[in-house]
Amino acid sequence: MSLPILKFDAVVVGGGGAGLRASLQLSEAGVKTVVLSKVFPTRSHTAAAQGGISASFGNSEEDNWHWHMYDTVKGADWLGDQDAIEFMCKQATDAVAELEHYGMPFDRLDNGKIYQRPFGGHMADFGKKPVRRACAVADRTGHAMLHALYQRNVKAQTHFFVEWMALDLIRDKAGDVVGVTALEMETGQVYIIHAKAVLFATGGSGRIYQASTNAFINTGDGVGMALRAGLPVEDIEFWQFHPTGLAGAGVLITEGVRGEGGYLLNANGERFMERYAPTAKDLASRDVVSRAMQVEINEGRGCGTNKDYVLLKLDHLGADVIDQRLPGIREISIQFLGIDPVKQPIPVVPTCHYMMGGIPTNYKGEVLDGVDEKIVKGFYAAGECACASVHGANRLGTNSLLDLVVFGKSAGNSVIEFVKTMSDHKELPENAGQYSLERMAKLESTTGEKVADVRFAMQVCMQQHASVFRTQKVLDDGVMKMREIYERAKNVVIEDKSTVFNTARVEALEFLNTVEVALATMVAAAARTESRGAHAREDFPDRNDEVWMKHTLYYRDGQKLEYKEVHTEPLTVDYIPPAKRVY
């Protein structure tokens, strides 16, 4: 069966922060571009980011990008690539100013400058004391940013295919990327999008876990597609557990609460973070705070009947501050738990939040294959689906939104340059699209398991075997179970066979991506016998730089692992050598 072919110079897959920043760059440069998005762009998960976007403006107190870079390197537990980190931190003020110029409605200081609040791991003077670096729009920063970027794309007349899902990468014999297959949900039609360049901005995959702050759409589509196309995924064992997910509901409560002066309490009413991080206290890195909370819970100092959560206290901030700076989380807390934080503390638990790993790229957004980092021609990635790697083993709060705009733009610029060198499209391989059609046909089979059942098994397995604390036994069991689940996933079917807006089919195709991410995570985690950032091994409690200061590469074929070196040469400044990570 031959599929209809649509031709563009560039296709951006994903319409969240990174995709929209990239498409803006491309549209303004006049590159014939289309953005594919599973949802209308303003429905992307960037909208759920709350606390802020980091940039060392120093609007309230002295700050500079060197300190921001140091914090990011340290936050990443020295697994970040320092060239990419320097690039991002140095660009931050320009990138955020640009957002302001686009109309993003930042909160303001009395002098008219952007309001900045303290955040976890943001420190002045190379880790000495907390600094106000997070530029905020109340606690709705991501929403404001996403809308501003969409609005600017309206101005630039960006071309969107809304409610289209990319299915597979198309690579030619040389391994170059020449397009994607994609499903138009409304009609059920599959197309080949033939492009000179493909830019993935497909977001995260937090839905591999049972409890997650992530939206339903965060299903790791980009990573799944890259893995199926034979490319590796980097550092996928590193998942951030956000300290303050709403207990029971999983919904995010921003770190900005602690930035504004809130703090955590155990069942004894003790402000326990003082014991774990004497200087930064509740504003230590997220991995540090999440582990501390889990220890408190594990040692019986959790709150509630089941002693399974801790409390986030902020009533002392007063109704005025809460309504001005944190109105969204007040609303969420009342909505989902019936608790008004103006009067009562909020029950919170560490909750899966962010995928530090992803498709390997350099700071230009070019996708890299293998230990020798060979550039994959025609393929670019940015945002959460990519691993540049700026977040290393643990991401700092607010660096995610920054990552989206800095690397969205930089990947966009790389595409512009690349497209200029391509007088014409490379030819499509003969069988382009066949693989996607076969994968879809399999779902139509009359015998097999329900997607929801296998997906649930995967989420439970991840939750039990790859959580905040990990051991060899628990991980090995997890690998075994996940391999079984992966086999079961090969036989999932849908009952609904119709063509028009078949969300059962979409969910099945999403799950086939998600399960790739889950298995990759488990295999990579079981292999890393050290503790670094968010990967905390009870049986290997220390970081082991001699053996493990290296990036994991996982390949789908044979579930193979390779390791490549961390970039230790920043672009212009001195290397920041590993040190003990104390907050």
Partner 1 sequence: MAKKMKFSIYRYNPEKDAKPYFKDIEVEIGDHDKKLLNALVKIKDDLDDSLSFRRSCREGVCGSDAMSINGRNGLACLTDLADLKEPVVLAPIPGLPVIRDLIVDMTQFFHQYNSIKPYVIDDRPMPERERLQSPEDRKELDGVIECILCACCSTSCPSFWWNPDKFLGPAALLHAYRFLADSRDQATNERLDDLNDPYRLFRCHTIMNCVDVCPKHLNPTKAISRIKETMLARQV
- Residue from 144, 280, 348, 440 touching partner 1 (CB under 8 A): that is 144
* CB of 48 or CB of 437, closer to partner 1: 48
| 109-128 residues near partner 1, rule: CB under 8 A | 109-114
498 binds partner 1 (CB under 8 A): yes
- Residue from 28, 107, 184, 315 touching partner 1 (CB under 8 A): that is 107
Residue type, 425: H
* CB of 126 or CB of 501, closer to partner 1: 501
CB 173, CB 429: distance < 8 Å: yes
* CB of 66 or CB of 113, closer to partner 1: 113
- Residue from 3, 249, 375, 480 touching partner 1 (CB under 8 A): that is 249
Q: Where are the alpha helices (DSSP H) in 271-326?
A: 273-276, 286-298, 318-325
- Residue from 4, 5, 40, 304 touching partner 1 (CB under 8 A): that is 40
- Count the neighbouring beta carbons within 10 Å of the beta carbon of residue 568: 14
* CB of 187 or CB of 544, closer to partner 1: 187
10 Å CB burial of residue 495 (0-12, 13-18, 19+) is exposed
Region near partner 1 per CB under 8 A, out of 144-152, 259-267, 341-349, 423-431:
144-152
Of 421, 423, 418, 506, the residue nearest 198 (C-alpha): 418
10 Å CB burial of residue 454 (0-12, 13-18, 19+) is buried
* CB of 246 or CB of 283, closer to partner 1: 246
Q: What is the largest distance, in Å, between two alpha-carbon atoms of the chain?
A: 69
What is the total count of residues that contact partner 1 (CB under 8 A)?
Answer: 64
502 binds partner 1 (CB under 8 A): yes
Region near partner 1 per CB under 8 A, out of 79-87, 146-154, 294-302, 360-368:
146-154
Region near partner 1 per CB under 8 A, out of 221-229, 280-288, 413-421, 497-505:
497-505
- Count the neighbouring beta carbons within 10 Å of the beta carbon of residue 374: 11
10 Å CB burial of residue 67 (0-12, 13-18, 19+) is buried
336 binds partner 1 (CB under 8 A): yes
Q: In angstroms, rounded to a whole number, what is the distance separating the alpha carbons of residues 428 and 6? A: 12
- Residue from 32, 66, 442, 450 touching partner 1 (CB under 8 A): that is 450
332 binds partner 1 (CB under 8 A): yes
Please, how many CA atoms are within 13 Å of residue 329, restricted to the half-sphere of its CB? 38
Tell me, yes or no, if 286 is annotated catalytic: yes
With tokens 């007063």, the residue in question is 318
105 binds partner 1 (CB under 8 A): yes
DSSP 19: H
CB 55, CB 402: distance < 8 Å: yes
* CB of 140 or CB of 567, closer to partner 1: 140
Question: How is 344-386 classified by DSSP, letter by letter?
Answer: SPEEEEEEEEEE--BEEB-TT-EEEETTTTEEEEEEEE-GGGE
Closest distance to partner 1 from the beta carbon of 45 (Å): 7
Closest distance to partner 1 from the beta carbon of 112 (Å): 3
CA dihedral for 449, 513, 238, 525, sign (positive or negative): positive
Closest distance to partner 1 from the beta carbon of 249 (Å): 8
39 binds partner 1 (CB under 8 A): yes
- Whole-angstrom CA distances from 115 to 55, 368, 405, 529 are 11, 37, 19, 42
* CB of 472 or CB of 491, closer to partner 1: 491
Closest distance to partner 1 from the beta carbon of 214 (Å): 9
309 binds partner 1 (CB under 8 A): no
| 163-222 residues near partner 1, rule: CB under 8 A | 186, 215-217
C-alpha angle 262/265/269, rounded to 5°?
Answer: 125
Task: Return phi, psi of residue 167, to 5°.
Answer: -105, -50
Task: Name 432's bridge partners.
Answer: none
* CB of 452 or CB of 582, closer to partner 1: 452
335 binds partner 1 (CB under 8 A): yes
Tokens describing residue 511: 């799950």
Q: In angstroms, rounded to a whole number, what is the distance separating the alpha carbons of residues 120 and 481? A: 35
495 binds partner 1 (CB under 8 A): yes
Residue type, 488: R
161 binds partner 1 (CB under 8 A): no
499 binds partner 1 (CB under 8 A): yes
Region near partner 1 per CB under 8 A, out of 24-32, 44-52, 465-473, 480-488:
44-52
Tokens describing residue 453: 């059942």
Rg (CA), the chain: 22
User: One of 132, 286, 291, 455 is an active-site residue; which one?
Assistant: 286
| 45-104 residues near partner 1, rule: CB under 8 A | 45, 47-48, 57, 93-94, 96-97, 100-103
Active site residues: 286
> Can you give the binding site for partner 1, defined by CB under 8 A?
39-40, 42-45, 47-48, 57, 93-94, 96-97, 100-103, 105-114, 137, 140, 143-144, 147-148, 151-152, 154-155, 186, 215-217, 248-249, 251-252, 328, 331-332, 335-336, 450-452, 494-496, 498-504, 507
